[in-house]
Amino acid sequence: MPILIDRLFLLIIPACMLLLGAMLAGCWRVQRRRFHLLWVAASYALVGSALAWQSLMSVEELQRWAVVTGMLYLFGAWSFARGLAGYYDVSARPRLGLLIGAVVLLALYYYSRVEVSLWMRMLWLNAGLGLMQLLPAARILRRQLPAGGLERAMYWSYVVFALNTSIRPILWLAVGSKGQDAAFFSSYWLMMLATTMLFALLFAMLLLANTVRDTMTALRAERNMDPLTNLLNRRAFQEAAGPLLRDPQRGPWTLLIGDIDHFKRINDTWGHAHGDHVLQTVAGALTQQVRGDDLVARFGGEEFVLLLRTDLASAESIAQRIRMQLSENRQLLPDGDRMTISFGIAPITSPTELSATLSRADGLLYQAKQAGRDRVYVARPLNEIQTT
């Protein structure tokens, strides 16, 4: 009875692994695009199942089922590597993983059926598991880890555990006596269960924290970005402009409003798909002219707004370059005609002036349209307006 209770107690850790796998699978059901969660969940389920099965086996049964349980462990280790590789968008190197798995399974067969040795099986299996887990490690490093502490902690905890998996039988043998097989194996098994559980909890926590952070970042991007042009939308522009304009160390600032000329004709003549292409081309031309502190937004339709950290003269030069770049692109419209854009430009010094300056620049844009389009109108001192 005490032996049965001890074995049932050992099932607590595999059960926790299975629960963690179920939790990650549940998170994947909510975030279907994040397949790395499903792969890690599969890894936890496979390893947890193998641990539970082996926890109830005798030494003779461990020998008999060594190849089968080895397959569960190895595929679980590769699933874990596949999940991490998917998170960082690199390859898990399945062919090399298949080769490692085949070699390890052959060794498990040999040391369970030909030359029986529990410790040789453990050495081969742990070495294979560690190598399997490390398959994507080098490629992740070559992509350069992000500066965020959460991702670095997740990566290095995974590397440390993979290395620990590979060498822990050797370390355990170095401090123990190989002659005490049963007691020694029990001690090793408890140590292995404890380290596996600690890592599983730590990695699941870090993985979920990174996934939640990535989800929140994606939601903020969806809220703030125009999906067609990948520019800021009106709300995000106004939120970002305030802090910039409040900083006295920055400036001068100039506000530009640009509007594509005859855009309705483009949509009506060549369709909305081509109109979308024109909008994306204009967005690309605008972003080519800005610097790190500048803002570019699509306010809706064919209207674009720029907040540039420069004076009126330089802002006018930038608008003229954009206008000429688009005008000279004769492949933008199917009939080879020129595509033109008009601008209204006004200076701004504080966030309280944002609404008024937008109206002022919009008024100048309207004047440019009325004067024949393909023009840049600039607010001048003493209310002087210059046309070009």
Local confidence band at 192 (pLDDT 50, 70, 90 cut-offs) = confident
CA atoms of 303 and 296, how far apart (whole Å): 11
Distances (CA, A) of 356 to 253, 294, 349: 14, 19, 11
AA letter at 45: A
- The overall average pLDDT reported for the chain is 86
* Poorest-pLDDT segment among 60-74, 123-137, 205-219: 205-219
- With a cut of 90, say whether residue 231 has pLDDT above it: yes
Q: Return the percentage of the chain with pLDDT > 70, whole number.
A: 89
**Exposed/middle/buried for residue 225 (C-beta within 10 Å: 0-12, 13-18, 19+):** middle
Strands 295-300 and 376-379: unpaired
Residues sharing a CB contact under 8 Å with residue 190, sequence separation 6 or more, in sequence order: 10
Question: What class does CATH assign to 234-387?
Answer: alpha beta
**pLDDT tens, 149-178?**
888 888 888 888 888 888 876 766 665 544
Q: For residue 196, how many other CB atoms are within 10 A of its CB?
A: 20
Q: Return the percentage of the chain with pLDDT > 90, whole number.
A: 46
**DSSP-assigned letter for residue 261:** T
Q: What is the pTM of this model?
A: 0.66
Domain extents for the chain?
Answer: 2-224, 234-387
* Poorest-pLDDT segment among 152-166, 179-193, 195-209, 298-312: 179-193
The per-residue pLDDT for 348 is: 93
Distances (CA, A) of 163 to 92, 126, 134, 169, 189: 17, 10, 8, 11, 18
More confident residue, 46 or 176: 46
The per-residue pLDDT for 382 is: 40
Residue ranges with strand state E in the chain? 253-260, 295-300, 303-308, 341-348, 376-379, 385-387
**pLDDT tens, 57-109?**
777 888 889 999 999 999 999 999 999 999 888 999 999 999 999 999 999 99
The residues pairing with 254 across neighbouring beta strands, listed in sequence order, are 308, 347
Of the listed 302, 303, 328, 353, which one is catalytic? 302
Structure tokens at 143: 């992509």
More confident residue, 34 or 255: 255
Local confidence band at 182 (pLDDT 50, 70, 90 cut-offs) = low
Local confidence band at 186 (pLDDT 50, 70, 90 cut-offs) = low
The per-residue pLDDT for 54 is: 85
The per-residue pLDDT for 388 is: 46
* Poorest-pLDDT segment among 152-161, 274-283, 364-373: 152-161
Q: For residue 323, how many other CB atoms are within 10 A of its CB?
A: 20
- With a cut of 60, say whether residue 2 has pLDDT above it: no
Instruction: Tell me the three-class secondary structure of 217-246, residue by residue.
Output: HHHHHHHHECCCCCCECHHHHHHHHHHHHH
- With a cut of 80, say whether residue 33 has pLDDT above it: no
**DSSP-assigned letter for residue 338:** P
The per-residue pLDDT for 56 is: 81
The per-residue pLDDT for 387 is: 43
Most confident of 168-182, 325-339, 356-370: 356-370
Local confidence band at 120 (pLDDT 50, 70, 90 cut-offs) = confident
The per-residue pLDDT for 174 is: 62
CA atoms of 351 and 251, how far apart (whole Å): 12
302 labelled catalytic: yes
